[in-house]
Amino acid sequence: MKKYFITGLLIWIPLVITFMVLAWIVGTLDRILLWIPEAWQPRAVLGVNIPGAGVAITLLIVLVTGLIGANVLGQRIVQLWEAILARIPVVKSIYYGVKQVSDTLFSSSSQAFRKALLVQYPRQGSWTIAFLTGRPGGDAARHLPGDFVSIYVPTTPNPTSGFFLMVPRADVIELDMSVDEALKYIISMGVVAPGKRTSVAPVAMPAPAE
């Protein structure tokens, strides 16, 4: 009896969690309908409330924005918009900080996470998986003696939150594991272990600054 109950849980838990996450996303995006005048909302036009209408409108807005931004006129509008934001002190810092992160993560040639690493965190003797993001820069690099690398330590099971650390290169161990495999390993809380890879294209660690 216990065996059958656990088997049922293993089937239903992923389905329920997936449904809850999708419902939260759809519900959040549906709130974009509040931006539309009430007379133009689907409920007023069609007489019924359509779940997911906000998702479709959001995707349409993103697509249209991309089409406009891809041509010369659209690029000039974006440049003008950014020039306006650059004159607002607090907004400028937030906007350009977020823009740099999004450009790095969503660029087609992005190498935001270059390599999966094994590091001791949050204390000696406790190991976790991290990702190589580059080398320390700016004034921070001037205050770090020796050879350091920048790493990102994600949290489980949500790898989009985590900690940015600058650690000595000697304290990290390169793993024979792709970034995708490492992410799956983290999200599954260590349940889905990656298989052994027979051949791996080497990814060079950032060279020490001279």
Q: Determine the pLDDT at residue 200.
A: 44
Q: What ranges do the domains of the chain cover?
A: 1-58, 71-107, 115-187
Q: Using pLDDT thresholds of 50, 70 and 90, give the confidence band for residue 203.
A: very low
Is the pLDDT assigned to residue 209 strictly greater than 60?
A: no
Rounded Cα–Cα distance for residues 185 and 93 (Å): 34
Q: Determine the pLDDT at residue 89.
A: 82
Q: What are phi and psi of 127, to 5 degrees?
A: -105, 145
Residues pairing with 203 in the sheet: none
Per residue in 6-52, pLDDT (tens digit) is: 888 878 887 888 888 777 877 777 777 667 777 777 676 777 777 67
Q: Mean pLDDT, the chain, as a whole number?
A: 79
Handedness of CA 17, 22, 23, 24 (dihedral sign): positive
Q: Determine the pLDDT at residue 166.
A: 95
**Can you give the pTM of this predicted structure?**
0.52
C-alpha triplet 185, 190, 192: angle, nearest 5°: 60
Mean pLDDT of all residues in 132-138: 88
**In this predicted model, which residue has the larger pLDDT, 124 or 193?**
124
Class of domain 115-187: mainly beta
Is residue 91 within 8 A of residue 104, CB to CB? The reply is no
